[in-house]
Amino acid sequence: MKDNKKLTENDVTPETIFNMQRREVLKKLGLSAAALSIPGLAQADILSWFKGNDRPAAPAGRALQFSEPAQYQAKLTLTPADKVSGYNNFYEFGLDKADPAANAGSLKTSPWQVEIGGEVAKPITLDMDDIFKRFAMEQRIYRMRCVEAWSMVIPWVGFELSKLLNLAEPTSHARFVAFQTVYAPDQMPGQKDRFIGGGLNYPYVEGLRLDEAMHPLTLISTGVYGKALPPQNGAPLRLTVPWKYGFKGIKSIVKITLTRDQPPTTWNQGAPDEYGFYANVNPHVDHPRWSQATERFIGSGGLLNVQRQPTLLFNGYAEQVASLYHGLDLRENF
Ligand SMILES: Nc1nc2c(c(=O)[nH]1)N[C@H]1C(S)=C(S)[C@@H](COP(=O)(O)O)O[C@H]1N2
Ligand SMILES: [Mo]
Protein backbone atom coordinates (compact mmCIF):
# COMPACT_ATOMS: atom_id res chain seq x y z
CA MET A 1 0.00 0.00 0.00
CA LYS A 2 1.30 3.43 -0.91
CA ASP A 3 0.83 5.27 2.33
CA ASN A 4 2.33 8.50 1.07
CA LYS A 5 -0.04 8.82 -1.80
CA LYS A 6 -2.29 11.83 -1.60
CA LEU A 7 -5.84 10.58 -1.74
CA THR A 8 -8.59 12.20 -3.70
CA GLU A 9 -12.27 11.61 -3.05
CA ASN A 10 -12.35 9.33 -6.08
CA ASP A 11 -9.92 7.02 -4.33
CA VAL A 12 -12.34 6.40 -1.52
CA THR A 13 -13.84 3.11 -2.53
CA PRO A 14 -14.97 0.41 -0.14
CA GLU A 15 -11.56 -1.15 -0.75
CA THR A 16 -9.77 1.93 0.51
CA ILE A 17 -11.74 1.78 3.68
CA PHE A 18 -11.18 -1.92 3.99
CA ASN A 19 -7.42 -1.71 3.75
CA MET A 20 -6.77 1.41 5.75
CA GLN A 21 -7.88 2.64 9.09
CA ARG A 22 -10.89 4.82 8.51
CA ARG A 23 -9.45 7.75 10.43
CA GLU A 24 -6.28 7.54 8.35
CA VAL A 25 -8.30 7.87 5.15
CA LEU A 26 -10.24 10.76 6.56
CA LYS A 27 -7.06 12.46 7.74
CA LYS A 28 -5.50 12.17 4.29
CA LEU A 29 -8.61 13.66 2.81
CA GLY A 30 -8.62 16.38 5.43
CA LEU A 31 -12.22 15.58 6.25
CA SER A 32 -14.21 14.81 9.32
CA ALA A 33 -16.14 11.57 9.48
CA ALA A 34 -19.37 13.47 9.07
CA ALA A 35 -18.27 14.84 5.70
CA LEU A 36 -18.36 11.43 4.06
CA SER A 37 -21.32 9.16 3.90
CA ILE A 38 -19.50 5.84 3.99
CA PRO A 39 -21.71 2.90 4.91
CA GLY A 40 -18.92 1.62 7.16
CA LEU A 41 -19.56 4.42 9.56
CA ALA A 42 -22.60 2.43 10.67
CA GLN A 43 -20.04 0.21 12.42
CA ALA A 44 -20.48 2.10 15.69
CA ASP A 45 -24.13 1.10 15.79
CA ILE A 46 -23.27 -2.52 15.26
CA LEU A 47 -20.84 -2.44 18.14
CA SER A 48 -23.51 -1.02 20.40
CA TRP A 49 -25.97 -3.69 19.20
CA PHE A 50 -23.52 -6.34 20.29
CA LYS A 51 -22.97 -4.74 23.67
CA GLY A 52 -24.13 -7.27 26.23
CA ASN A 53 -24.45 -9.91 23.52
CA ASP A 54 -21.95 -12.56 22.72
CA ARG A 55 -19.89 -11.79 19.67
CA PRO A 56 -18.35 -15.20 19.27
CA ALA A 57 -15.66 -15.83 16.71
CA ALA A 58 -16.73 -18.08 13.85
CA PRO A 59 -15.74 -21.71 14.27
CA ALA A 60 -12.83 -22.77 12.07
CA GLY A 61 -14.10 -24.24 8.81
CA ARG A 62 -13.90 -28.01 8.70
CA ALA A 63 -11.89 -29.48 5.81
CA LEU A 64 -14.18 -30.90 3.11
CA GLN A 65 -13.76 -33.79 0.72
CA PHE A 66 -14.27 -32.98 -2.92
CA SER A 67 -13.26 -33.86 -6.45
CA GLU A 68 -11.69 -31.38 -8.86
CA PRO A 69 -13.34 -31.85 -12.27
CA ALA A 70 -10.81 -30.60 -14.83
CA GLN A 71 -13.33 -28.49 -16.77
CA TYR A 72 -14.01 -26.35 -13.69
CA GLN A 73 -10.42 -25.71 -12.56
CA ALA A 74 -10.10 -22.50 -14.55
CA LYS A 75 -6.56 -21.18 -14.86
CA LEU A 76 -7.37 -17.80 -13.39
CA THR A 77 -5.59 -15.80 -10.71
CA LEU A 78 -7.41 -16.53 -7.46
CA THR A 79 -8.52 -13.87 -5.02
CA PRO A 80 -6.65 -14.66 -1.77
CA ALA A 81 -8.64 -16.47 0.92
CA ASP A 82 -8.38 -13.60 3.40
CA LYS A 83 -10.10 -11.29 0.91
CA VAL A 84 -12.74 -13.84 -0.11
CA SER A 85 -13.69 -14.18 3.56
CA GLY A 86 -12.75 -10.70 4.76
CA TYR A 87 -14.37 -8.47 2.16
CA ASN A 88 -18.04 -9.40 2.00
CA ASN A 89 -21.58 -8.27 1.40
CA PHE A 90 -23.95 -9.75 3.97
CA TYR A 91 -26.16 -6.85 5.05
CA GLU A 92 -27.72 -8.87 7.86
CA PHE A 93 -24.38 -8.18 9.62
CA GLY A 94 -23.84 -4.58 8.54
CA LEU A 95 -23.06 -2.58 5.41
CA ASP A 96 -19.28 -2.33 5.67
CA LYS A 97 -17.29 -4.91 3.72
CA ALA A 98 -15.48 -5.87 6.94
CA ASP A 99 -18.66 -6.19 9.03
CA PRO A 100 -19.66 -9.77 8.05
CA ALA A 101 -16.26 -11.21 9.00
CA ALA A 102 -16.33 -9.31 12.29
CA ASN A 103 -19.94 -10.06 13.20
CA ALA A 104 -21.23 -13.21 11.52
CA GLY A 105 -19.79 -15.47 14.22
CA SER A 106 -23.09 -14.89 16.03
CA LEU A 107 -24.96 -16.93 13.40
CA LYS A 108 -25.78 -20.45 14.61
CA THR A 109 -25.11 -22.61 11.56
CA SER A 110 -25.52 -25.98 13.26
CA PRO A 111 -27.97 -27.65 13.42
CA TRP A 112 -29.30 -26.44 10.07
CA GLN A 113 -32.19 -27.54 7.91
CA VAL A 114 -33.20 -26.63 4.40
CA GLU A 115 -36.73 -27.24 3.21
CA ILE A 116 -37.57 -27.89 -0.47
CA GLY A 117 -41.24 -27.51 -1.32
CA GLY A 118 -43.86 -25.83 -3.47
CA GLU A 119 -44.48 -27.26 -6.94
CA VAL A 120 -42.75 -30.58 -6.27
CA ALA A 121 -44.00 -34.15 -6.05
CA LYS A 122 -41.76 -34.95 -3.06
CA PRO A 123 -41.24 -32.09 -0.62
CA ILE A 124 -38.23 -32.81 1.53
CA THR A 125 -36.31 -31.32 4.46
CA LEU A 126 -32.58 -32.03 4.69
CA ASP A 127 -29.98 -31.34 7.35
CA MET A 128 -26.33 -30.78 6.52
CA ASP A 129 -25.43 -34.44 7.20
CA ASP A 130 -28.05 -35.47 4.62
CA ILE A 131 -26.60 -32.98 2.15
CA PHE A 132 -23.03 -34.22 2.52
CA LYS A 133 -24.19 -37.87 2.33
CA ARG A 134 -26.38 -37.43 -0.72
CA PHE A 135 -24.29 -35.11 -2.84
CA ALA A 136 -20.64 -35.50 -3.85
CA MET A 137 -18.81 -32.22 -3.47
CA GLU A 138 -16.76 -30.66 -6.26
CA GLN A 139 -14.35 -27.78 -6.30
CA ARG A 140 -15.15 -25.19 -8.94
CA ILE A 141 -13.16 -22.07 -9.67
CA TYR A 142 -15.63 -19.37 -10.71
CA ARG A 143 -15.45 -15.68 -11.45
CA MET A 144 -17.66 -13.59 -9.19
CA ARG A 145 -18.81 -10.13 -10.24
CA CYS A 146 -20.60 -7.88 -7.78
CA VAL A 147 -23.05 -5.35 -9.22
CA GLU A 148 -20.89 -2.69 -7.44
CA ALA A 149 -18.22 -3.28 -10.14
CA TRP A 150 -15.66 -5.27 -8.19
CA SER A 151 -14.81 -8.89 -8.89
CA MET A 152 -13.05 -11.92 -7.48
CA VAL A 153 -12.08 -15.43 -8.60
CA ILE A 154 -13.17 -17.95 -5.96
CA PRO A 155 -12.56 -21.68 -5.50
CA TRP A 156 -15.96 -22.84 -4.28
CA VAL A 157 -16.83 -26.31 -3.00
CA GLY A 158 -20.37 -27.41 -3.72
CA PHE A 159 -22.75 -29.41 -5.88
CA GLU A 160 -25.17 -28.70 -8.70
CA LEU A 161 -28.47 -27.24 -7.55
CA SER A 162 -30.22 -29.41 -10.16
CA LYS A 163 -29.40 -32.50 -8.09
CA LEU A 164 -31.18 -31.07 -5.08
CA LEU A 165 -34.20 -29.98 -7.13
CA ASN A 166 -34.46 -33.32 -8.92
CA LEU A 167 -34.62 -35.06 -5.57
CA ALA A 168 -37.84 -33.19 -4.84
CA GLU A 169 -39.21 -33.84 -8.36
CA PRO A 170 -40.48 -30.50 -9.70
CA THR A 171 -44.02 -30.76 -11.13
CA SER A 172 -44.87 -29.66 -14.67
CA HIS A 173 -46.20 -26.39 -13.16
CA ALA A 174 -42.83 -25.37 -11.70
CA ARG A 175 -41.32 -22.46 -13.67
CA PHE A 176 -39.26 -20.60 -11.04
CA VAL A 177 -37.28 -21.34 -7.91
CA ALA A 178 -37.48 -19.06 -4.85
CA PHE A 179 -34.82 -19.00 -2.13
CA GLN A 180 -34.92 -17.61 1.40
CA THR A 181 -32.17 -16.76 3.88
CA VAL A 182 -32.63 -17.67 7.54
CA TYR A 183 -34.63 -15.17 9.60
CA ALA A 184 -32.89 -14.84 12.96
CA PRO A 185 -33.03 -11.22 14.15
CA ASP A 186 -31.47 -12.12 17.49
CA GLN A 187 -28.38 -13.34 15.64
CA MET A 188 -28.43 -10.83 12.78
CA PRO A 189 -28.30 -7.17 13.80
CA GLY A 190 -29.27 -6.00 10.33
CA GLN A 191 -32.58 -7.87 10.52
CA LYS A 192 -33.41 -6.16 13.79
CA ASP A 193 -32.35 -2.63 12.97
CA ARG A 194 -33.31 -1.05 9.62
CA PHE A 195 -30.31 1.27 9.75
CA ILE A 196 -27.77 -1.50 10.27
CA GLY A 197 -29.46 -3.66 7.62
CA GLY A 198 -29.47 -0.94 4.95
CA GLY A 199 -33.26 -0.65 4.84
CA LEU A 200 -33.75 -3.91 2.95
CA ASN A 201 -36.66 -6.24 3.65
CA TYR A 202 -35.72 -9.40 5.53
CA PRO A 203 -35.51 -12.31 5.25
CA TYR A 204 -33.41 -11.83 2.10
CA VAL A 205 -35.07 -13.61 -0.82
CA GLU A 206 -33.86 -14.44 -4.32
CA GLY A 207 -35.09 -16.35 -7.33
CA LEU A 208 -34.16 -17.98 -10.62
CA ARG A 209 -36.06 -19.25 -13.61
CA LEU A 210 -36.24 -23.04 -13.43
CA ASP A 211 -33.95 -23.49 -16.46
CA GLU A 212 -31.35 -21.20 -14.87
CA ALA A 213 -31.60 -23.15 -11.62
CA MET A 214 -31.16 -26.43 -13.49
CA HIS A 215 -28.12 -25.20 -15.45
CA PRO A 216 -24.98 -27.23 -14.65
CA LEU A 217 -23.03 -24.08 -13.70
CA THR A 218 -25.51 -23.25 -10.91
CA LEU A 219 -24.14 -24.43 -7.58
CA ILE A 220 -25.13 -24.78 -4.02
CA SER A 221 -21.86 -23.92 -2.29
CA THR A 222 -21.00 -25.50 1.04
CA GLY A 223 -17.36 -24.48 1.15
CA VAL A 224 -14.64 -22.22 -0.11
CA TYR A 225 -10.87 -22.75 -0.34
CA GLY A 226 -11.36 -26.42 0.60
CA LYS A 227 -13.15 -25.78 3.90
CA ALA A 228 -16.74 -25.45 5.07
CA LEU A 229 -18.06 -21.94 4.40
CA PRO A 230 -17.35 -19.39 7.10
CA PRO A 231 -20.55 -17.62 8.18
CA GLN A 232 -19.63 -14.38 6.40
CA ASN A 233 -19.70 -16.29 3.08
CA GLY A 234 -23.17 -17.69 3.77
CA ALA A 235 -22.69 -20.81 5.88
CA PRO A 236 -23.73 -23.52 5.82
CA LEU A 237 -25.06 -23.33 2.25
CA ARG A 238 -25.53 -20.56 -0.29
CA LEU A 239 -26.32 -20.14 -3.96
CA THR A 240 -23.57 -19.48 -6.56
CA VAL A 241 -24.62 -18.42 -10.07
CA PRO A 242 -21.39 -17.31 -11.74
CA TRP A 243 -22.87 -15.50 -14.77
CA LYS A 244 -25.08 -13.26 -12.62
CA TYR A 245 -24.31 -10.33 -10.33
CA GLY A 246 -23.27 -11.39 -6.84
CA PHE A 247 -26.51 -10.35 -5.16
CA LYS A 248 -28.26 -13.34 -6.77
CA GLY A 249 -25.98 -15.56 -4.64
CA ILE A 250 -28.24 -15.69 -1.61
CA LYS A 251 -26.55 -16.82 1.62
CA SER A 252 -27.47 -19.08 4.53
CA ILE A 253 -30.49 -20.64 2.79
CA VAL A 254 -33.25 -22.34 4.79
CA LYS A 255 -36.00 -22.58 2.19
CA ILE A 256 -36.24 -23.40 -1.52
CA THR A 257 -39.68 -23.20 -3.14
CA LEU A 258 -40.61 -24.18 -6.68
CA THR A 259 -43.22 -21.75 -7.99
CA ARG A 260 -45.44 -21.05 -10.98
CA ASP A 261 -44.86 -17.30 -10.87
CA GLN A 262 -41.71 -15.20 -10.76
CA PRO A 263 -40.87 -14.73 -7.08
CA PRO A 264 -40.00 -11.38 -5.47
CA THR A 265 -36.29 -10.68 -4.91
CA THR A 266 -34.82 -8.47 -2.20
CA TRP A 267 -32.69 -6.00 -4.18
CA ASN A 268 -35.36 -5.65 -6.85
CA GLN A 269 -37.90 -4.78 -4.16
CA GLY A 270 -35.45 -2.31 -2.62
CA ALA A 271 -34.61 -0.46 -5.87
CA PRO A 272 -36.52 -1.84 -8.88
CA ASP A 273 -34.94 0.63 -11.34
CA GLU A 274 -31.43 -0.43 -10.36
CA TYR A 275 -31.61 -4.19 -9.75
CA GLY A 276 -33.62 -6.51 -11.96
CA PHE A 277 -34.73 -10.10 -11.57
CA TYR A 278 -32.27 -11.43 -14.17
CA ALA A 279 -29.14 -9.55 -13.07
CA ASN A 280 -27.02 -11.18 -15.76
CA VAL A 281 -23.53 -9.67 -15.84
CA ASN A 282 -23.52 -7.39 -18.88
CA PRO A 283 -20.87 -4.76 -19.72
CA HIS A 284 -23.26 -3.11 -22.21
CA VAL A 285 -26.05 -2.39 -19.76
CA ASP A 286 -24.93 0.17 -17.19
CA HIS A 287 -26.26 0.54 -13.70
CA PRO A 288 -28.20 3.85 -13.58
CA ARG A 289 -25.47 5.30 -11.30
CA TRP A 290 -22.28 3.77 -12.72
CA SER A 291 -20.76 1.99 -15.72
CA GLN A 292 -20.66 -1.81 -15.79
CA ALA A 293 -18.08 -1.89 -18.61
CA THR A 294 -15.13 -2.54 -16.29
CA GLU A 295 -14.52 -3.90 -12.81
CA ARG A 296 -11.93 -3.73 -10.03
CA PHE A 297 -10.40 -7.17 -9.65
CA ILE A 298 -9.63 -7.95 -6.03
CA GLY A 299 -6.36 -9.87 -6.10
CA SER A 300 -3.35 -10.04 -3.89
CA GLY A 301 -2.19 -6.48 -4.53
CA GLY A 302 -2.91 -3.45 -2.42
CA LEU A 303 -6.36 -2.21 -3.13
CA LEU A 304 -5.57 1.44 -3.75
CA ASN A 305 -3.88 0.71 -7.07
CA VAL A 306 -6.26 -2.13 -7.80
CA GLN A 307 -6.41 -3.44 -11.33
CA ARG A 308 -9.34 -2.53 -13.55
CA GLN A 309 -10.30 -5.05 -16.17
CA PRO A 310 -13.04 -5.29 -18.77
CA THR A 311 -16.25 -6.94 -17.64
CA LEU A 312 -17.25 -9.91 -19.77
CA LEU A 313 -20.74 -10.65 -21.10
CA PHE A 314 -22.36 -13.20 -18.76
CA ASN A 315 -19.17 -12.82 -16.71
CA GLY A 316 -17.25 -14.94 -19.22
CA TYR A 317 -19.79 -17.79 -19.30
CA ALA A 318 -21.62 -16.72 -22.50
CA GLU A 319 -20.72 -19.92 -24.31
CA GLN A 320 -22.50 -21.97 -21.67
CA VAL A 321 -25.50 -19.76 -20.84
CA ALA A 322 -26.29 -17.34 -23.71
CA SER A 323 -28.75 -19.86 -25.20
CA LEU A 324 -30.94 -19.50 -22.08
CA TYR A 325 -31.73 -15.94 -23.18
CA HIS A 326 -32.42 -16.24 -26.90
CA GLY A 327 -35.16 -13.81 -27.81
CA LEU A 328 -34.98 -11.98 -24.48
CA ASP A 329 -34.17 -8.25 -24.54
CA LEU A 330 -31.29 -8.09 -22.05
CA ARG A 331 -31.59 -4.31 -21.72
CA GLU A 332 -35.23 -4.50 -20.71
CA ASN A 333 -34.69 -7.62 -18.62
CA PHE A 334 -31.63 -6.37 -16.72
N1 LIG B 1 -28.66 -13.13 2.72
C2 LIG B 1 -27.83 -12.37 1.98
N3 LIG B 1 -27.25 -12.91 0.88
C4 LIG B 1 -26.41 -12.15 0.13
C5 LIG B 1 -26.15 -10.80 0.44
C6 LIG B 1 -26.77 -10.27 1.61
O7 LIG B 1 -26.59 -9.09 1.98
N8 LIG B 1 -27.59 -11.08 2.35
N9 LIG B 1 -25.32 -10.04 -0.37
C10 LIG B 1 -25.18 -10.47 -1.78
C11 LIG B 1 -24.16 -9.73 -2.49
S12 LIG B 1 -24.52 -8.14 -2.94
C13 LIG B 1 -23.00 -10.32 -2.89
S14 LIG B 1 -21.89 -9.48 -3.91
C15 LIG B 1 -22.62 -11.67 -2.44
C16 LIG B 1 -21.27 -11.62 -1.76
O17 LIG B 1 -20.84 -12.91 -1.43
P18 LIG B 1 -19.45 -13.09 -0.68
O19 LIG B 1 -19.43 -12.14 0.47
O20 LIG B 1 -19.41 -14.52 -0.25
O21 LIG B 1 -18.38 -12.76 -1.68
O22 LIG B 1 -23.58 -12.23 -1.53
C23 LIG B 1 -24.92 -11.98 -1.87
N24 LIG B 1 -25.80 -12.72 -0.96
MO1 LIG C 1 -23.06 -7.56 -4.64
Per-residue pLDDT of the chain (334 residues; tens, 9 = 90+): 334 344 444 444 544 444 444 445 445 444 444 444 444 444 555 666 665 555 667 777 899 999 999 999 999 999 999 999 999 999 999 999 999 999 999 999 999 999 999 999 999 999 999 999 999 999 999 999 999 999 999 999 999 999 999 999 999 999 999 999 999 999 999 999 999 999 999 999 999 999 999 999 999 999 999 999 999 999 999 999 999 999 999 999 999 999 999 999 999 999 999 999 999 999 999 999 999 999 999 998 876 667 799 999 999 999 999 999 999 999 999 9
14 inside domain: yes
Ligand-binding annotation for 146, yes or no, is yes
pTM of the model: 0.87
As a whole number of angstroms, the distance between CA 270 and CA 257 comes to: 21
- Counting ligand 1 atoms within 8 A of each CB, the residue from 182, 247, 281 with the most, and so the one to mutate, is 247
Does 295 sit in the ligand 1 pocket, CB within 6 Å? Answer: no
210 inside domain: yes
Q: Could you tell me if 73 and 141 are in contact, meaning their C-beta atoms sit under 8 angstroms apart?
A: yes
The total domain count for the chain is 1
332 inside domain: no
4 inside domain: no
Q: What is the dihedral of CA 52, 198, 254, 98, to 10 degrees?
A: -70
Does 89 sit in the ligand 1 pocket, CB within 6 Å? Answer: yes
185 inside domain: yes
- Counting ligand 1 atoms within 8 A of each CB, the residue from 15, 18, 89, 153 with the most, and so the one to mutate, is 89
263 inside domain: yes
39 inside domain: yes
Q: Which domain holds residue 257?
A: 9-325
Burial of 121 (0-12, 13-18, 19+ CB in 10 A): exposed
Q: Which residues surround ligand 2, an ion (CB under 5 A)?
A: 89, 146, 246-247
pLDDT at residue number 36: 43
Here the CATH number for the domain that contains residue 254 is 3.90.420.10
292 inside domain: yes
